[in-house]
Amino acid sequence: MAGSEGYDVVVVGGGGAGLAAAVSACEAGASVLVAEAGAQVGGSTALSGGAFLAAGTAVQKAAGCEGDSAAEFYDYFLAVNRWDIEPSIVRRYCDEGAAAVQWLTELGVEFPPGEIARGELERIPRLHRAAGGGAGIVAGLRSACNRVGVDFALGTRVTELVERDGVVVGVRAGDDELAAGSVILTTGGFANNHELVAEHIPSARAVLDGLRSPAPGTNLGDGLRMGLAVGAATAGTDRAQVLLSAGLTSDIEPVLPGWLICVDATGRRFVDETAHYHVMNPLTLEHGGTTWAIFDENACQEARGSGSRFGAGMWTHEVLSHAAAGGQIPTAPDIPTLATRLGLPAAVLQTTIDRYNADCAAGQDTLFFKDAARMVPCATAPFYGVPLRPTIMPVTGFGLRIDSDTRVLRAADNRPLTGLYAAGEVVGRRIFSGGAMIAAGVIFGRHAGRVAAADH
Ligand SMILES: Cc1cc2nc3c(=O)[nH]c(=O)nc-3n(C[C@H](O)[C@H](O)[C@H](O)COP(=O)(O)OP(=O)(O)OC[C@H]3O[C@@H](n4cnc5c(N)ncnc54)[C@H](O)[C@@H]3O)c2cc1C
């Protein structure tokens, strides 16, 4: 690492949170180095869809979505998370979201008003899609870093924090040591580190063998490990985002195609198969951790993918017929035989399929009210059954505990660890909702930069 004199602020990890921290610390007058393990900056942020959840923004107004506010957003967030979230942190998130969107816009990131959408159950659209996805956000922040004079040490994996008398005073990367007035940890999540997943995400232990993450290979939980080594408190046990997969392709498919019939181990449907992944995946875990997607030959012939932005995925005729021919997908000439092959109760599965087919004919899903236009009958042999398990983990939610000023708290006494800050996915018990991960990374990264620059 360059700069033997050290820096006012060293940021560990150059994803969305780290770059935002670096820009704002530099804007506040600090000398700043970003140490990034990868050959280039970006992290998961650059691979993401770039959806940014915020309320009361100028972009919303430009899109004709008037009347939203941080206060309404805060109430909504607490309600949908059943208050199982830190109010002081949610408050900062909601209060500073509009300013963060404005700040990114001024740095050159575009949020086209025509792209704004409703993420989940919001009354008003709040999901701001960055032009160019997450890579567009990273590009804007990276050029801002250049403008304000942030230094970079690329290909530098920080391995340890340097602590003296309970104060964090620098970082080590192998044998190199660098002094820092303040250190901001922004190393992202740990979904690629199966040891940490097994330890902190107990519900994933059953699927560890097939678990994959689209996050960069450098996201190994180093920040969490380094924080723990200096006595940091943690939060968010068993929090992670998982997506269903049969392991046939590596594409991310957040939402299943509407022509599938998903049943649990009892042979019954348990959900509208097109439900948002924040509903579908936890519900699948509650229903035993596997759902069987049933469809017929007609559906297989017509399969054109799930419409994911991250690739065509496995729901195409080519992938399905190839997997069926290779024995990776069980098929059968009738539903009872398919049920036996899948280990499901044959009579119940037959009842489920009969009722679904009757609903298709009547034009209404009488159990879950799935959009009838997306339903197709399951009546033409051979029949297919694909076991899906929550094995794709883009995001982890266990991590370091911070206060609303991003100061990492000590496990021993719940007081700030002097000199240490954290933002983004390395933080535990984060705001955890579609589009809120990138937003929280940028909002708290930006705040961490300001606070660390003032404190150093
Ligand atoms: C495919 C995909 C799509 C997603 N889509 C969305 C979306 O649309 N909206 C949303 O809100 N969220 C989305 N998410 C989640 C979101 O992208 C992440 O939670 C968020 O970007 C994390 O930002 P971060 O800055 O904390 O970490 P990252 O962006 O992952 O950056 C962490 C950086 O730290 C570096 N690093 C790690 N260890 C070290 C070390 N020891 N020393 C130095 N550097 C280190 C890594 O190399 C990496 O560059 C998506 C995630 C994925 C994987």
pLDDT at 1: 64
- Percent of the chain predicted with pLDDT > 70: 96
User: How many Å lie between the centroid of ligand 1 and the Cα of residue 426?
Assistant: 9
Of the pLDDT bands very low, low, confident and very high (cuts 50, 70, 90), residue 431 is low
pLDDT at 218: 98
Ligand 1 pocket test, candidate residues 128, 187, 239, most atoms within 8 A of CB: 187
pLDDT at 298: 95
Regarding the beta carbon of 390 and ligand 1, being less than 6 Å apart is answered no
pLDDT at 135: 98
- Domains annotated on the chain, with CATH: 7-193+201-206+397-455 (3.50.50.60), 243-392 (3.90.700.10)
Cα distances (Å, whole numbers) of residue 260 to 220, 235, 337, 374: 35, 37, 19, 9
pLDDT at 307: 65
pLDDT at 173: 97
**Ligand 1: nearest atom to the Cα of 17:** 25
pLDDT at 277: 83
CA-nearest residue, atom 26 of ligand 1 = 424
Regarding the beta carbon of 11 and ligand 1, being less than 6 Å apart is answered no
Cα distances (Å, whole numbers) of residue 35 to 224, 261, 392: 16, 47, 28
Q: Which residues pair with 420 in a beta bridge?
A: 183
pLDDT at 311: 61
Regarding the beta carbon of 57 and ligand 1, being less than 6 Å apart is answered no
* Residue with the two structure tokens 């740095």: 107
Residue 81 has pLDDT above 90, yes or no: no
Tell me if residue 114 falls in helix, strand or coil: helix
Query: Bigger pLDDT: 12 or 277?
Result: 12
- The C-alpha atoms of residue 439 and residue 307 are separated, in whole angstroms, by 24
> Six-digit token pair at 124?
């008003």
DSSP letter for 130, please. P
pLDDT tens digits for range 202-232: 988 988 988 999 999 999 999 999 999 999 9
Q: Which residues pair with 396 in a beta bridge?
A: 240
User: How many Å lie between the centroid of ligand 1 and the Cα of residue 144?
Assistant: 19
| Mean per-residue pLDDT, 14-23 | 98
Q: Are the C-beta atoms of 397 and 424 separated by less than 8 Å?
A: no
Regarding the beta carbon of 216 and ligand 1, being less than 6 Å apart is answered yes
pLDDT at 403: 96
Q: Are the C-beta atoms of 410 and 233 separated by less than 8 Å?
A: yes
pLDDT at 308: 61
pLDDT at 310: 61
pLDDT tens digits for range 290-335: 999 999 999 999 988 766 666 667 889 999 999 999 999 999 999 9
**Ligand 1: nearest atom to the Cα of 427:** 26
pLDDT tens digits for range 330-375: 999 999 999 999 999 999 999 999 999 999 999 999 999 999 999 9
pLDDT at 112: 97
Residue 174 has pLDDT above 80, yes or no: yes
Please provide the average confidence, as pLDDT, over all residues in the chain: 93
Query: Bigger pLDDT: 7 or 254?
Result: 7
Residue 409 has pLDDT above 80, yes or no: yes
User: How many Å lie between the centroid of ligand 1 and the Cα of residue 20?
Assistant: 13
pLDDT at 253: 76
Query: Bigger pLDDT: 242 or 98?
Result: 98
Query: Bigger pLDDT: 313 or 74?
Result: 74
pLDDT at 78: 87
Judge if the upstream peptide bond of residue 382 is cis by omega within 30 degrees of 0. Answer: yes
Q: Half-sphere exposure (CA, 13 Å, Cβ side) for 14? A: 27
User: How many Å lie between the centroid of ligand 1 and the Cα of residue 94?
Assistant: 21
- From 77, 44, 154, select the one nearest 441 (Cα to Cα): 44
pLDDT at 184: 98
